[in-house]
Amino acid sequence: MKENIIVFKYGGNAMTNQNLKSKIVENICSLKDKGYQVVIVHGGGPFIKQTLEKVNIDSEFIDGQRKTTPEAMEYVEMALKGKVNGSLISIINAMGHKAVGLSGKDGHTVTAKKRLHQHTKNGKTELVDLGQVGDVENVDASLIELLLENDFIPVITCIASDKKGIDYNINGDLFAGHIAGALSAEQYIILTDVDGLRLDKDNPASLIHELKVAEINHLKEIKCIQGGMIPKIDSCEIALEKGAKLARIINGTVPEQIASLFEKKEVGTAISA
């Protein structure tokens, strides 16, 4: 069964346009008609921001990471599991497929651990408490596999509890990488808003079509991989290390790229071990 699982990480600005969202989901679901089993993992930063603003909860960011208080965590879950997850489920079901909405909490699929962030200021590194922000400690893929065996499309958001039952918000890219690895996915595909990794981020012609994990550190050193691309590349590395066969970063704002993934065309940046 594991030979034809495709895991998609879907998030960011490609989620805020309803028209685009429907086209992306339609292209993802079309892979089921080609005999693939599909899993969608999503975040939803813009929706978290919107929800917290509505209830007047200020967000503090440390090195680009949102500090999450217990009060904020309640609304983070509301945004991700209620709004974003529910919307994707409705779209998929309306297309005639059977989607099931999950978070990492369901069926103990993901066990979280608290993240202690290393923050460097004036050459001094200190551990910073980000509140209820976590990392993935363990993945039990049995519920996802059960759903796939019964022809469902699992749609999973990046929230999980630790062993004591405390909830954590986990970076969506890293969360998705762990899921793809645990499922030994044939491909792990990150949908972002650029065509893939570029040697020069401002030059579309410098797109890197193929990349080996061994080359990643050098690309980080020369600042080819920076900013929001870092967790995406890190998640590809996690997926491959944990058992996925291939990872790929493609442009989610061009949904046709999804359909052409399996037509022997060069799409995005393909990363292999």
pLDDT digits (tens, 9 = 90+) for 194-224: 889 999 888 888 999 999 999 999 999 998 9
**pLDDT the model gives residue 228:** 85
**pLDDT the model gives residue 202:** 85
Pairing of strands 65-66, 37-42: unpaired
**pLDDT the model gives residue 52:** 96
Using a 10 angstrom Cβ sphere, with 0-12 exposed, 13-18 middle and 19 or more buried, the burial of residue 26 is: middle
**pLDDT the model gives residue 2:** 58
**Residue at token pair 């001094």:** 124
Please give the CATH topology (third level) of the domain spanning 2-272: Carbamate kinase (3.40.1160)
**pLDDT the model gives residue 63:** 79
**What's the whole-model pTM score?**
0.94
Torsions phi, psi for 80 (to 5 deg): -75, -50
- Contact between residue 197 and residue 161 where contact means Cβ atoms under 8 Å apart: no
Instruction: Point out the residues of the chain with pLDDT beneath 70.
Output: 1-3
Domain positions in the chain are 2-272
